[in-house]
Homo-oligomer: A and B are copies of this chain.
Amino acid sequence: MATADPGVILLLTCPDRPGLVARISHFIFERGGNILDLDEHVDPVEKTFFIRVAWSGQGSALPLSELQEAFRPLAEEFGASWSIRFTGRKTRVAVFVSRYDHCLLEILWRNSIGEFASDIVLIISNHPDLGSLAAHYGIPFHVFPVSRDNKEETELQELALLEENDIDTIVLARYMQVLSPFFVNRYPARIINIHHSFLPAFVGSSPYRQAYERGVKIIGATSHYVTEELDQGPIIEQDIVRISHKDTLDDLVRKGRDLERLVLAKALRLHSGHRIIVNGKKTVVFD
Contact = CB atoms under 8 A, between A and B. Distances in A.
Contact of A34 (B18, B136, B246): B18
Nearest to A236: B217
Interface of A: 16-22, 25-26, 28-29, 32-45, 50, 57, 101-102, 105, 109, 113, 115, 136, 198-202, 213-218, 220, 234-240, 244-246, 248, 254, 258, 262, 279, 281-285, 287
Nearest to A42: B36
Nearest to A137: B136
Contacts of A33: 18
How many copies are assembled? 4
Contact of A282 (B19, B215, B248): B215
B18 A22 contact: no
A41 B18 CA distance: 22
B36 A21 contact: no
A224 to B, nearest CB: 9
Given A201-B198, A218-B198, A220-B218, A284 B245 contact: yes
Given A22-B25, A28-B22, A44-B36, A240 B218 contact: yes
A29 B18 contact: yes
27 contacts: A16-B34, A18-B32, A18-B33, A18-B34, A22-B22, A22-B26, A25-B25, A37-B246, A38-B38, A38-B39, A38-B40, A39-B39, A44-B248, A101-B109, A102-B109, A199-B214, A201-B201, A215-B281, A215-B283, A217-B237, A217-B285, A218-B220, A240-B240, A244-B285, A245-B279, A245-B282, A258-B262
B245 A283 contact: yes
Contacts of A237: 217
Contacts of A109: 101-102, 105
A29 B238 CA distance: 37
A82 to B, nearest CB: 17
A143 to B, nearest CB: 21
A174 to B, nearest CB: 14
Given A237-B217, A240-B240, A245-B285, A29 B36 contact: no
Contacts of A220: 218
Contact of A216 (B45, B102, B105, B238): B238
A198 B57 CA distance: 38
A109 to B, nearest CB: 6
Nearest to A30: B22
A45 to B, nearest CB: 8
A91 B218 CA distance: 28
A171 B54 CA distance: 37
Residue in A17, A21, A240, A244 with the greatest tally of chain B CB atoms within 10 Å? A21
